[in-house]
Structure 1
Amino acid sequence: MSAITETTDGPIEVIQVLFALHPSFGAQELCGPLEILSKALHKINDPATKAFEITIAAPSAGVSSSSGLTIKADIDYDTAHEDLSEYDVLIIPGGDGVNKVLETQSEPLPIISAFAKLQISDPSKERTLMSIGTGSLLFAQSGILQGLAATTHPDYYTKMEIICKDAARKGDLEQTDVMEENYVVNNARYELGENLEENPFVLSKRPDAKRKSIARKGSNAWKESVKRRESNARRASLRLGGLRLITSGGITSGLDASLYLVAAMVSHESAQEVARIMQYTWNKGVTVEGIDV
């Protein structure tokens, strides 16, 4: 369950986020999203309404990035697996170490699979799985991208396609639409409206990998989810039990995807305020499928 923080205006939800690191992760692929989520507030003028609580998991007490930055882990992977149901968001940074993870089939591959299976077995909770850069290669290797759309760092589009095709052969033969986009969202959650042709958030048909996106903004606040037309049965009928799955491209794409996550789970106003504080221009990505389609 998400933590509850008491404020003068009553209780607010604190969204639990788990970053899963590996040796030689990309430092900026951790630090950028971490900075954005740490600054997000439910009420932009009230510091007591922090929206996210961050936990870092790693295979050892300290783990170093490819640039030599050493991060102290909050928990190890054994504890992360034990407590996995408590987290609302799992974020996987990429980096040089991804190739080693693929070779050794080590963490965070097992925790990615476990998080996806958790959503399938318990679709009553809204969960999000997000990758930065080459972290999406680990999603592909886990076989969870079949039938979905995804992106990665531009230098790895071909490798991504190869891994996805191999996963499809081992799985149910459904392909992954590898898109050349800033970030790609599957299983978004917001009211789509009655006329989908006029909705700026959703593509009624998945584009091919060469199509360019138009500007899009994030979804409604997570706190309003109980008011939506979503039902557990509807969520369960979607791929991965309705798991919101976000993949992003290179380093700055991770910033953009993180701002989308703030907009989706807190509010669009909160995301805009974080971007203002950081003096960063939020570049939008694409949302390829919504829960009410």
Structure 2
Amino acid sequence: MKTVALLLFPDVEVLDFAGPFEVFSVAGEVRQPAPFRVITVADSANPIAAVGGLNVAPHFDLATAPQADVLIIPGGKGSRAAMRDPRILDWVARQAARAEVVASVCTGALILGKLGLLDGLAATTHAGAIGELRAISDKIDVRPTARFIDNGKYLTSGGITAGIDMSLYLLKRLTDQQLVDLVVEEMEYDWRMRAAG
């Protein structure tokens, strides 16, 4: 069983983390034994106020979170503050070093970019943050029109709903098409793989 960890922070975009959470948790509903343990992690154990005021209670804080096999960094308005928070940056860097896969949704790419993890790679983010990603490092090959990009260990996706597409693609990469078909059917999601390299 692989651990999928999603980072939460104040003003995180709801669908940025809830979409991938749904994909990997539904995989455990439609296939047993469950192939993934899906957890959320935040700076503290206190509830996080996401975009729109949705309060979410994380499973773990930074100090108690287990090592992730798959680390997913969502975006949202709060990603700008998160990318300046030394505790969050340190945690992401330590987790990323040992994770099998590190993925970002939307402006979560800004956090990975700030850490230098996207240097030398193609990457994308929300259409409204392309300039911000370019400003972080001229070593990132920013692809504005990509739905999501797979660099092997590191994946990035465009904004919000693109995280669902990337997660389904990643689910196929980590498991098989049959499980993806079951998840898509259960979610009633009209999915067409739209990766760009």
TM over 0.5: yes
- The residue aligned with 2:58 is 73
Q: 1:105 aligns with which of 71, 85, 96?
A: 85
8 Å Cα contact 1:140/1:163 also seen in 2: yes
Written as runs of structure 1 = structure 2, the 5 A alignment for 1:90-239 is 90-102=71-83, 104-118=84-98, 127-165=100-138, 175-179=139-143, 180-187=145-152
Bigger mean CA deviation after superposition, 106-115 or 256-265: 106-115
Question: Which letter does structure 2 place at the counterpart of 1:186?
Answer: N
Percent identity reads 31
8 Å Cα contact 1:157/1:178 also seen in 2: yes
Report the Cα offset of residue 141 of structure 1: 0.5
Question: Does residue 32 of the first structure (1) align with residue 12 of the second (2)?
Answer: no
Written as runs of structure 1 = structure 2, the 5 A alignment for 1:12-91 is 14-41=1-28, 47-61=31-45, 62-80=47-65, 83-84=66-67, 87-91=68-72
8 Å Cα contact 2:146/2:196 also seen in 1: no
C-alpha distance after superposition, 1:109-159 (max 9, x if no partner): 22221123336xxxxxxx000111100110110111111111000111111
How does the TM-score come out when normalised to structure 1? 0.63
Secondary structure at 1:40 match in 2: helix
8 Å Cα contact 1:148/1:186 also seen in 2: yes
Report the Cα offset of residue 41 of structure 1: 4.7
Report the Cα offset of residue 259 of structure 1: 0.2
Question: Which letter does structure 2 place at the counterpart of 1:184?
Answer: I
Report the Cα offset of residue 107 of structure 1: 4.5
Report the Cα offset of residue 272 of structure 1: 2.0
Report the Cα offset of residue 287 of structure 1: 6.2
Secondary structure at 2:71 match in 1: strand
Tell me, in whole angstroms, the C-alpha distance in 2 between the residues paired with 1:184 and 1:49: 29
Larger radius of gyration: 1
8 Å Cα contact 1:22/1:108 also seen in 2: no
Secondary structure at 1:79 match in 2: coil
Secondary structure at 1:57 match in 2: strand
Q: 1:284 aligns with which of 190, 193, 196?
A: 193
Question: Which letter does structure 2 place at the counterpart of 1:66?
Answer: V
C-alpha distance after superposition, 1:181-216 (max 9, x if no partner): 0000002xxxxxxxxxxxxxxxxxxxxxxxxxxxxx
Query: Compared with structure 1, are the counterparts of its residues 163 and 284 closer, same or farther at alpha carbon in structure 2 (3 Å cutoff)?
Result: same
Q: Which runs of 5+ in 1 are unaligned?
A: 1-13, 120-126, 166-174, 188-243, 289-293
Question: Which letter does structure 1 place at the counterpart of 2:70?
Answer: V
Tell me, in whole angstroms, the C-alpha distance in 2 between the residues paired with 1:108 and 1:91: 13
C-alpha distance after superposition, 1:32-81 (max 9, x if no partner): 11111111159x5xx4322211121111221110211111111110122x
Tell me, in whole angstroms, the C-alpha distance in 1 between the residues paired with 2:87 and 2:182: 34
Q: 1:274 aligns with which of 183, 193, 196?
A: 183
8 Å Cα contact 1:20/1:108 also seen in 2: no
